Structure 1
């Protein structure tokens, strides 16, 4: 082996050889199959540029999209029991939680942040579906209760973005107890006269739908979102009937009165800011000035005669 094969040739191969391409540069639209460049998706708020399908959006990007100048502060959520039921299926619950926490970079499937949306003070609680399917355990319940209390303290509106498969089975009854806890927290917020807006994202199902997610003053949904309690297949097998087309989609629920509006993601911030402003700032922003009364005197008109005629008519 000479110096050409041992030294020069490997360098040439390394220079002209195939370079490794990151796996996350291109994404395939689950609706139309179009290949989408990651920068185009980010600039379009994770909405397909070909068919307008709304892809799932991570919690951090959603918060940056919502708050003014992408400036907000997150709050630290309380730590919960690691494995209250010592649950184990194919692996231990503690191992599943540890893997999800390392992957997501947070302790649970919810982020609570506060800031302003179109100059209106707001507290946002955003679910992260990539964290164990956004399932609601004690940690998520604590997060929603903290969010409601923070909104009370700051006299701010509460906006929640659920994206969940329902209750967290690994926590059993403790997970189901978060349903009445979150309902009580929301009702206390309403008693204070503060707005509670729910933005239903894909998917919103299970115990989350059966509790706080359907108790908002207003319900907004993103286009194409799946919203319901049980899955479509389970319902069909239970009632033994074919469900209508588009059942549990956001558009279907809007037509049947379960959702107030279906709003495109690009228009969501402006819509929320407008709603929060109307619901929180009910007094006029400027001094009310009395307008002068118009002069109704018409030439040739005898007001006293007309008044006398009206009095006679009332008597008869």
Structure 2
């Protein structure tokens, strides 16, 4: 099944269920991985995989995210043909990528496409932590860059949901080059006076957090998302100080001026709808 089959108009969305759910009995009960609260799986899914007791936002797939944010029947994915190669001859790399392709139904760790939010056209990119932990390789960088360029061509806002462990080590410096490439595309998009919204989800780290994830016109995050560059232990060993308990959380970043807003998952589409309307000429 292709990713386009997930969003065919007038057909039910066949969304892959997040592997983060710990099913007690398949299809009946689920358990929050944070507070261990037990709930009916259908109610958990209806609550967008947010625990009703502790409000922990569980990881979701890129397809689930698109279904939650983009108007039904309007999403068209782009650049599904791009495939990862093995430039450094890293043992087992291609096989692992192919395995994740089968598991997730997408060609790489980001899903990109064109769709509507509240009737207004946008280009969206959604990183998927179930594909190589959302790590950024050459294809991820290329897909994001092409999506930004498509938004510039169409003169519409560009929106990205980030979730990543950082640059992909199997591609070495090639993966690091994507930081610059995506940033250049964003600058050209900005030069046209167009809107860029970045939403950081758990986790957004490494080269992704140090490049396109942090340079939105509006930067937002989901509650308690881990956001940072180097790991906590590395930083503590470097500065020889104990860091605050909430260090590198979305709440810590908001408090210190690195985020504009923390948005609950159930409010995300409404928030984006408002932002897009305010920045779109002739918005519906």
The residue that corresponds to 1:75 in the other structure is 78
Aligned-partner Cα distance in 2 for 1:155–1:269 = 21
Aligned-partner Cα distance in 1 for 2:153–2:29 = 43
Check conservation: 2:84, 2:94, Cα contact below 8 A: no
Q: String of CA shifts for 1:252-280, please: whole Å, max 9, x gaps.
A: 11010000000111111011111111122
Check conservation: 2:203, 2:227, Cα contact below 8 A: yes
> Structure 2 matches for 1:295-306, cutoff 5 A?
none
Aligned-partner Cα distance in 2 for 1:120–1:58 = 24
Say which SS state the counterpart of residue 162 (structure 1) adopts.
strand
Mark the CA change 1:284 to 1:101 in structure 2 (over 3 Å): closer, same or farther. Answer: closer
2:144 paired with 1:139: no
State the Cα distance separating 1:192 from its structure 2 match: 0.9
Aligned pair count reads 261
2:262 paired with 1:259: no
> Structure 2 matches for 1:143-158, cutoff 5 A?
143-158=143-158
Please tell me whether Structure 1 or Structure 2 has the larger radius of gyration of its CA atoms.
Answer: 1
TM-score by length of 2: 0.87
Gaps of 5+ in 1: 1-20, 286-316
Aligned-partner Cα distance in 1 for 2:270–2:189 = 23
State the Cα distance separating 1:284 from its structure 2 match: 9.6
Work out which of the residue numbers 52, 55, 58 in structure 2 matches 1:52: 55
> Structure 2 matches for 1:140-289, cutoff 5 A?
140-281=140-281
Aligned-partner Cα distance in 2 for 1:115–1:154 = 12
2:124 paired with 1:124: yes
Say which SS state the counterpart of residue 163 (structure 1) adopts.
strand
Task: Point out 4+ residue stretches in structure 1 off by more than 2 angstroms.
Answer: 21-28, 76-81
State the Cα distance separating 1:69 from its structure 2 match: 2.9
Aligned-partner Cα distance in 1 for 2:28–2:61 = 16
Check conservation: 2:277, 2:283, Cα contact below 8 A: no
Say which SS state the counterpart of residue 177 (structure 1) adopts.
helix
Mark the CA change 1:190 to 1:140 in structure 2 (over 3 Å): closer, same or farther. Answer: same
State the Cα distance separating 1:70 from its structure 2 match: 5.5
Mark the CA change 1:226 to 1:22 in structure 2 (over 3 Å): closer, same or farther. Answer: same
Q: Which has the larger share of strand? A: 2
Q: String of CA shifts for 1:180-200, please: whole Å, max 9, x gaps.
A: 000001111101111000001
> Structure 2 matches for 1:15-30, cutoff 5 A?
23=26, 25-30=28-33
Q: String of CA shifts for 1:90-121, please: whole Å, max 9, x gaps.
A: xx111111111111122110101211111221
Aligned-partner Cα distance in 2 for 1:67–1:144 = 18
State the Cα distance separating 1:79 from its structure 2 match: 2.4
Gaps of 5+ in 2: 1-23
Mark the CA change 1:71 to 1:132 in structure 2 (over 3 Å): closer, same or farther. Answer: same
Kindly report the root-mean-square deviation, in angstroms, between the aligned alpha carbons of the 2 structures: 1.7
Question: Relative contact order (C-alpha < 8 Å, sep 6+): which is higher?
Answer: 2
Check conservation: 2:83, 2:107, Cα contact below 8 A: no
Check conservation: 2:201, 2:225, Cα contact below 8 A: yes
The residue that corresponds to 1:303 in the other structure is none
Aligned-partner Cα distance in 2 for 1:211–1:24 = 39
2:36 paired with 1:33: yes
Q: Which has the larger share of helix? A: 1
Check conservation: 1:222, 1:264, Cα contact below 8 A: yes
Check conservation: 2:31, 2:37, Cα contact below 8 A: yes
